[in-house]
Amino acid sequence: MSVRSEYLLSLAGVDLNGKSEDELRSIYYQYLNSGMHGICFSPYMDEQEPGDQIGEGQIRRRMEIINPHTKWIRSFSCTEGNELIPKIAKENGLKTLVGAWLGKYKSINDKEIEGLIEVAKAGHADIVAVGNEVLYREDLSEDELLDYIYKVKEALPGIPVGYVDAYYEFGNRPRITEACDVILANCYPFWEGCSLEHSYLYMKDMYNRALRAGNGKKVIITETGWPNVGEPFHGAEPSVENALKYFIQTQSWSKEEDIDIFYFSSFDEGWKTTDEGDVGAYWGIWDKNEKLKY
């Protein structure tokens, strides 16, 4: 058979072998400036954390920074000022995936669901997410989560309703998958200890597993990314080079195959070190001071 050089190792994505860091930065900026499908919005400034009230000014400032680089914004909560994020995103011409943050406490959950419904009825939500990794964290049972999902679906006819969790949960939880209009899957090769070398193919496999579980339903990758600083996690190593390469491969795949991806995350947030160790603070495209990294 004849050989076509452009198809050599095509499954492995963009050929970045032998690229210097300066060359990687150049390619990175090309993809960043051409625009992502979506990005996860990081509202918390240094010394802030979930539970703190978020000011409208900081939301508007950060929205203005990221606005030229994305079509969609994903938010995670509808209380404590986070409910302003979708409204401000809409004012900036962006589409919104709006989340309600659910956990162990019914009183907080009820406020989040109420806020989610209010935001969506105001016309500020294109897709809504009822909870984020609550089954992974074992904060709610399937039945409890289903009650919230169906309550939101009843309140918001015509708006796609989903639930966000690790990609494999949708194969393990057919009742949850059935209840969702859209499959919202978090795909992190890093957190499964995958080396950067194999991460692109691994992410594709994660996506395809969620796609099979969805049985024809649309799958959106709601989180994926790579940290640039911190301790290695098994075979996954944080570094500037790896963060650059992972972003490039992810955005290339998103554009070439029309995969909806929300990159994690917009800004570095220090509070994440509590749960994730030192790498938790370094997932942003912009640093904690809102300066573009790299």
Strands 127-132 and 161-166: parallel
Q: Residue 292 pLDDT more than 80? A: yes
Question: Could you give the CA distance from residue 163 to residue 226 in angstroms, rounded to a whole number?
Answer: 23
Q: Residue 37 pLDDT more than 90? A: yes
Whole-structure pTM value = 0.95
Mean pLDDT in the chain? Answer: 95
Mean pLDDT over 108-127 rounds to 98
Q: In 10 A of CB 156, how many CB atoms?
A: 16
Looking at the DSSP bridge assignments, the partners of residue 85 are: none
DSSP 21-67: HHHHHHHHHHHHHH-EEEEE---PPTT--BTBPPPHHHHHHHHHHHG
Mean pLDDT over 175-204 rounds to 97
Question: Could you give the CA distance from residue 167 to residue 133 in angstroms, rounded to a whole number?
Answer: 10
Q: Residue 7 pLDDT more than 90? A: no
Of 137, 285, 174, 178, the closest CA to residue 224 belongs to 285
- Predicted pLDDT at 9: 44
Produce one character per residue of 44-80: b if its CB has 16 or more CB atoms within 10 Å, e if not.
Answer: bbeebebeeebeeeebeebbebbbebbebbbbbbbbb
Produce one character per residue of 110-132: b if its CB has 16 or more CB atoms within 10 Å, e if not.
Answer: ebbbebbbebbeeebbbbbbbbb
Cβ–Cβ under 8 Å, residues 236 and 195: yes
Cβ–Cβ under 8 Å, residues 129 and 184: yes
Q: Residue 1 pLDDT more than 60? A: no
- Predicted pLDDT at 14: 87
Q: Percentage of residues in the chain with pLDDT exceeding 70?
A: 96
Q: Residue 193 pLDDT more than 80? A: yes
Q: What are the tens digits of pLDDT across the range 53-111?
A: 999 999 999 999 999 999 999 999 999 999 999 999 999 999 999 999 999 999 999 99
Verify cis geometry, omega within 30 degrees of 0, for the bond prior to 265.
yes
Residue type, 222: T
Question: Could you give the CA distance from residue 106 to residue 109 in angstroms, rounded to a whole number?
Answer: 5
The set of residues, in sequence order, having a beta carbon less than 8 Å from that of 23 and lying 6+ positions away, is: none
At 13, the pLDDT band (50, 70, 90 cuts) reads: confident
Looking at the DSSP bridge assignments, the partners of residue 262 are: 38
Of 137, 73, 140, 142, the closest CA to residue 110 belongs to 140
Question: Could you give the CA distance from residue 164 to residue 115 in angstroms, rounded to a whole number?
Answer: 18
- Predicted pLDDT at 58: 97
- Predicted pLDDT at 253: 97
